[in-house]
Amino acid sequence: MSEGTRLGLLVPSSNTMMEADFTRGLPEGTTLHTARMYLEDTTVEGENRMLDEHTMGPARDVGTAKPDVVVFGCTSAGALRGNDYDAELCERIAEVTKAPVVSTIRSVRDAVAASGARRVGVITPYVDELNERIKASVEADGIEVVRIAGLGISDNFAIAMVRQGEIVDFAASALSGLDIDLVFASCTNFGAMAARQAISQRLGLPVVTSNQAVLEAALDRLRLLAA
């Protein structure tokens, strides 16, 4: 990638984790440019409101920074209305921003597919209604979600307050002993990217996290554009 490469990010307004994870993972010469989609409640109602009222305006805003690639930075909102809707939403964002768009839930699904895993365990900070949407999104690709366990947190700001050690302990308590090939830790405001190695060591399994998967997908897209 060349100097001056710009990565755009559409992130829920109360998310305090994703920008930090991205900043640590960006190569030299690539800058991050963020627009915020209003969201306080990580619930079906809150995310529907974000999608309908608070997504396209910020997409227009981040487009003025002329990003090379844009990330739609909410896993559960991407899964909320099904995988086809997520693809359509990314197309609409691409039209407004004039840049290719990378979806978080699609990036996770691609990472799971690339791993060859067929049976996965999922941990999330979410309430059950959102867990159901995540499970359906992953299983639409023919992957079996053996178990999905959530912390039941509906205050999005509070999700980032869950400590890494708590995430590792939660993964171990929820998924130990299951016949699974891979762990998926969902949510871009969850500190799972930094805890990924510890989760993997604790369970002896590969781990995909939302921020890790979508950052890798975005950087791959930037490399393709620069080739």
CATH at 44: 3.40.50.12500
d(CA 4, CA 63): 16
SS3 at position 97: helix
Q: What is the CATH number for 188?
A: 3.40.50.1860
Pair (123, 216) in one structural domain: no
Whether residues 95 and 161 share a domain: the answer is no
63 shares a domain with 52? yes
Note whether 23 and 34 are within 8 A (CB).
no
> What value does the mean pLDDT of the chain take?
97
Whether residues 123 and 75 share a domain: the answer is no
Average pLDDT over residues 32-50: 98
What φ, ψ does residue 18 adopt, rounded to 5°? -65, -45
Pairing of strands 144-150, 119-124: parallel
* Helices 104-115 and 210-226, axial angle in degrees (round to 10): 90
* Same domain, residue pair 118 and 190: yes
What is the extent of the structural domain holding 216?
5-103+212-226
Same domain, 15 and 72: yes
Q: Look at 1 and 57; give whichever has higher pLDDT.
A: 57
Q: Which of 161, 219, 212, 204 is nearest to 186 (CA)?
A: 212
Residue 131 pLDDT grade (very low, low, confident, very high; cuts 50, 70, 90): very high
Phi, psi of 71 (to 5 degrees): -105, 130
Say whether both 128 and 164 belong to one domain. yes
Q: Identify whether the C-beta of residue 214 lies closer than 8 Å to the C-beta of residue 102.
A: yes
Number of domains observed in the structure of the chain: 2
Residues 97 and 23 in one domain: yes
For 66-83, write each residue's pLDDT tens digit.
999 999 999 999 999 999
Residues 89 and 162 grouped into a single domain: no
Q: Which residues pair with 183 in a beta bridge?
A: 121, 207
In this structure, are residues 221 and 100 in contact, taking their beta carbons and an 8 Å threshold?
Answer: yes
Residues 143 and 179 in one domain: yes
pLDDT tens per residue across span 172-207: 999 999 999 999 999 999 999 999 999 999 999 999
